[in-house]
A and B are shown apart, each in its own frame.
Chain A
Amino acid sequence: MEILASLLDGFSVSLQPLALTMIVLGCAGGLVIGALPGLGSVNGVAILLPVTFLVPPNEAMMFLAAIYYGAMYGGSISSIMLGIPGASTAVATTFDGRPLAQKGQADKALVAAGIGSFVGGSVSIVLFTLFAPPLALFALKFGPAESFALMALAFATFVGLGGDDIPKTIFSICIGLVFSAVGLDHVSGMPRLIFFDMSGFYAGIGFLVLAIGIYGIGEILWTIETSKGKVEMSQATITASRIFENIKRLRHSTGVMMMGSVMGYFVGMLPAAGATPASLMAYGFAKSMSRDPDKFGKGEVTGVVAPETANNAASTGALLPMMTLGIPGSPTTAILLGGMIIWGLQPGPMLFIQERDFVWGLISSLYTANLVTAVLMISCIPLFVWVLKMPFTILAPIIFMLCVVGGFAPTNVMHDVWLMFLFGVGAYLLRKLDYPMAPAVLAIVLGPLAEKTFRQAMITSQGDWTTFFTRPLSAIFMACAVLLIVFPLVQNWQRKRRAEANAAAE
């Protein structure tokens, strides 16, 4: 009941005219960004964060969360219409969405994606509302050692579950942490890593500079390379009666929707997993549960519903550790977390006590955003189809311009624009060799806190390393982290031995 009362208080904040306008704008913007091939929630949030300095922090966060939401819906549009995932999170939607569109049933797929996303979003927000307060209460007990151990665990999930090359993942984490240490040391006031004695480095490297570099400039360079070929667009006929007809037919997918929502939510909470693997898992699960799995991949509506429910649920799931523990569950929430720090709001358990209006306003805005996006998406399908026709040679310079101005705006120094350019080109070149980028972004956001908690814990324990392993909670986190790192190595080693044994037997 207490939660319900808090939620109602939240609505009294998030239904104010300005807040509501920002939510609707964010949903529409997110849908467009998500629909554009190559751009997803993380790109939208990174590029548009500087723009939100126009409104107060509460509304700015609601706007960004709405973009996050909208982009999750929007990703399905280009997956279905073009067969190109609008964002990596919508990859699984192409498997059945594209065949449906080619059969002339694009509207069926789009409605299924919209409704699936809506259900995934709704279920996960309810779960979020129920889980967040107790988790925040629990996290109040954390000291520096626990906080540091939890961050170590977050990084370990990338190594153990990220699925990328392990040394490349570790490199990405380390470089992000090192970049976060540039500038004046907060404890001793000593300047560190001032490259070429440039004064710009005294202020440190802003996470936004790295994020816009990677997800703005780097992403566009990447998209230019991957979208060289011509693409064929499917047609969609939309009438109100067909929309209702399609919605009615989705009754059969209720089970899949529930499964996708719950699964997506819990997978989304893990920093390394997030919406993309959640949607792929849900797709695989729906296929194996289905009575005739052979239909999958040829235009089965359930195959669109499952990943779309899961990716929306995962995006809400990723917000849970970010808000309650201060550990982002996805690159997008990492940028949201960085934004909150810019606005002077420290995410974590204290937020639920000190900034109740903010927290519950944001949570309640998710309910509104979910509904608004579903309605917008289904009613404005023709508009988004038109957006997809926008030539990349117009889109690319617009995004580059937003990156340059967005890199300049927070600090008003050109130094940051140059750094952003370097990071963008570097990220693109490294990405071609499959270096993962998300760990670096997470690391630069968490870096200052990781270092602070590490040093505090070490001071308290007077240099005794075992402090991280003797305090019970911290020990559990550390044990999980070590397991996550060791597990894939052991697996690798076993596979190699088996291969050698096979080779010897032959």
Chain B
Amino acid sequence: MRRAEIITAAILAIFSVLLMIKSAEVPIGWNSARGGPSAGTFPFWLSGGMLLSSIWIFVRGLRGVTPQSRSSEPYMDPLTLKLFALTAGSLFLMILAIHFVGMYVSIPLFFIFYMRFMGRHSWITTAIITISVPIFLFLFFEIALKITLPKGITEPLFYPLYALFY
């Protein structure tokens, strides 16, 4: 925990510096032409605030003031790490797959993985939910809300459905 606290503060401090540099790409001082602070003023000084507070957190971490910096518990125990990696990893792959095969393929695949392999539910429960989810998505978002969800290469498969509803 202690190491995580200090390393996180250091990373956040670096991130703040990058934000300050990025903000400074536009003027950060007083806008003499129109009056008032310029476009970059607000983000620049607030990134400065981020930097100061992360340095403060870093120092407190080193001196052992915060409870986290005194805790000898691991930041993530092995079981938590495994659950986190599997969940966040599968979610990452699901979002990535949307670009190629669209939501109507990647979301059901995610459900099958999560329910069958993480949750050990029966194939029947898995199948019922996996099949009803894309139907709900289509009816609610595409038909009722008229929001086109990304379909990737599966787009042609939906032409008959469009013809049916529009």
Contacts and interface: CB of A to CB of B under 8 A. Distances in A.
Interface string B26-55: 100011001111111011001101100110
Contacts of A456: 36
Contacts of B38: 188
B42 A225 contact: no
Nearest to B116: A393
A165 interface: yes
A228 B91 contact: no
B55 to A, nearest CB: 9
A20 to B, nearest CB: 20
Instruction: Classify the interface of chain B: helix, strand, loop or mixed.
Output: helix
A170 B119 contact: no
Interface in A152-184: 165, 167-168, 170-171, 173-175, 177-178, 181-182
A418 B95 contact: yes
Interface residues of B, number: 69
Nearest to B148: A412
Contact of B88 (A398, A425, A434, A451): A425
Contacts, number: 171
Given A391-B119, A405-B141, A454-B42, A433 B5 contact: yes
A167 B66 CA distance: 11
Instruction: Classify the interface of chain A: helix, strand, loop or mixed.
Output: helix
Given A400-B110, A459-B36, A192 B26 contact: yes
A51 B147 CA distance: 11
Contacts of A174: 46-47, 49-50, 53
Given A185-B26, A224-B87, A170 B114 contact: no
A221 B144 CA distance: 31
B49 A393 contact: no
A394 interface: yes
Contact of A165 (B25, B46, B66, B120): B66
A53 interface: yes
Contacts of A391: 119, 121
A438 interface: no
Nearest to B41: A455
Interface in A387-421: 391-394, 396-398, 400-401, 404-405, 408-409, 412, 414, 417-418, 421
25 contacts: A168-B53, A173-B49, A174-B53, A177-B42, A178-B19, A178-B23, A178-B43, A221-B87, A225-B83, A391-B119, A393-B115, A400-B110, A401-B107, A401-B111, A404-B95, A404-B103, A412-B147, A414-B99, A414-B150, A432-B75, A433-B4, A434-B67, A454-B37, A455-B37, A462-B35
Interface of A: 51, 53-54, 165, 167-168, 170-171, 173-175, 177-178, 181-182, 185, 187-188, 190-193, 195, 217, 220-221, 224-225, 228, 391-394, 396-398, 400-401, 404-405, 408-409, 412, 414, 417-418, 421, 425, 428-430, 432-434, 451, 454-456, 458-459, 462-463
Given A54-B144, A391-B121, A421-B91, 7 more contacts: A51-B140, A170-B53, A397-B114, A404-B103, A405-B103, A408-B147, A455-B36
